[in-house]
Amino acid sequence: MARRLLLAALAAVMTMVAVMTSAAADTRSWQHVPVPAQVRPQAALYEAVASGPDRAWAVGADAVGREAPGFPLLLRWDGTAWQRQSLPGIDWQGELLSIAATSPTAVWTVGRDSAGGARLLRFDGSSWYESRSPRGVVPTGVVAGGGEIWLTGSRDGAQALLRWDGRAWRDVPVPPGHVYGLHILAADDVWAAGATGSGAAVSHWNGTAWQQTIVDGFPRSAVSSVLAVSPTEVWAGGTAGFVGGPVGRPIPPLLVRWDGQTWSRVTVPTDYGSISSLAPTTSGALGWVAVARSQKAGPPGSYPPLVPGPDFLAWDGQSFTGHSEPAVAGEGESWALRLAPVPGTGTVWSVGRADGPEGTFAPRILRFG
């Protein structure tokens, strides 16, 4: 009898601990993290990448004005705070658009100067230096995965994709339409999110050719982010229409899922906005969805007719839980939130640009976990 009572008491304690742990996890929220004081007004962040709890990078531009092109902005997280990184020998004006890393000692970022020239920088673990951009190519994005590093960009007005083979950049065929995002699993296993004249499109590269599928047939729809979990689970997110349609209405978000046989549209708990980024969990499953300019329809007859919707959607394998970004004094909502998960942890970074007073804007850094 005493043994049974002891076991029952232990079970009750364990249940209480589990409930308390679950409740604590449920109360976690996104937190605002300040940028360094050296960052000047009128700054924006476009993308971030993390390789550990004390190693993350974010890129963008600062001191941007109506006539001033601004300066490339590079921030580094050291585990305690974000610090602005100097770029010795890099004295051009312009911006850094995208960043990716294959390891802590192999980080790439692409940008453009005020004359529209392509800029490609590389970090070797100790310093940043300029690398030669592929001839005739204007890179707009850099993506890493599976030990690979690829560039997206344009050449003579046409889309270009390039792969680094360890010594030089090599051209890769481009799927029909436009490519806005990549998820690289291996050199012969790459997923591309984009659009064609027929609608939003997802394409798969097997090392030889692309196989493309129209995942939403609305002519102005597009997907810009794709996440491949397994051969039978792939996600892609974007918008169900660009500016110009549907007429007189905000644009709804678009999230689709592949089950190994068909693509299906997934309902999300917001009515309008653009899915700007997808982030995996430590296991590689879908963990987070970022929704830029998220809005929901208010009750019939209410004013205003639209109210703010969730900025982040956490996926638990069955359903979404909405999270809102924290309010920041003197600033408004974020634009184009981009997610950067920290490997091996439940922490996720988000960077973007927020509205400021009187038409200005400010950099925004958020963290969950």
Q: What is the dihedral of CA 258, 260, 264, 267, to 10 degrees?
A: -60
Rounded Cα–Cα distance for residues 253 and 293 (Å): 10
The helix (H) or strand (E) run that includes residue 5 is helix 2-26
Higher local confidence (pLDDT), 247 or 109 = 109
Q: Can you tell me the distance from the alpha carbon of 201 to that of 196, in angstroms, rounded to the nearest whole number?
A: 6
Q: If you average pLDDT over residues 82-102, what whole number do you get?
A: 93
For residues 126-131, average pLDDT? 93
| Mean pLDDT across 251-263 | 96
Distant-in-sequence, close-in-space partners of 36: CB < 8 Å, separation ≥ 6: 75, 81, 82, 83, 84
Give which of 113, 55, 159, 59 is closest to 150, Cα–Cα. 159
Rounded percentage of the chain residues whose pLDDT exceeds 70: 90
pLDDT at 242: 57
Kindly indicate the confidence band of residue 288, based on its pLDDT and cuts at 50, 70 and 90.
very high
Distance CA 191, CA 148 (A): 13
Average pLDDT over the chain, rounded to whole? 89
Model confidence at 19, in pLDDT bands (50, 70, 90)?
Answer: very low
Residue 16 has pLDDT above 60, yes or no: no
Distance CA 354, CA 360 (A): 9
Q: In what order do the strands lie in the sheet with 106-113?
A: 94-103, 106-113, 118-123, 128-131
Among 59-68, 92-101, 244-253, the minimum mean pLDDT is found in: 244-253
Q: What is the pLDDT of residue 304?
A: 85
Show the tokens assigned to 45. 């962040």
- Position of tokens 């700007």? 276
Residue-wise pLDDT for 152-163, tens only, equals 999 999 999 999
Residue with tokens 């634009």: 335
Q: Return the pLDDT at 25.
A: 41
Give the highest mean pLDDT range of 10-14, 62-66, 189-193, 326-330.
Answer: 189-193
pLDDT of residue 248: 57
In this prediction, residues 220-227 reach a mean pLDDT of 96
Tell me if 193 sits within 8 A of 226, measured CB to CB. yes
* Residues 229-240 pLDDT 10s: 999 999 999 999
Across 348-353, average pLDDT: 97
Question: Is 367 in contact with 30 (CB distance < 8 Å)?
Answer: yes
Per-residue confidence (pLDDT) for residue 149, from 0 to 100: 97
Place of tokens 């993290």: 33
Give this prediction's pTM.
0.89
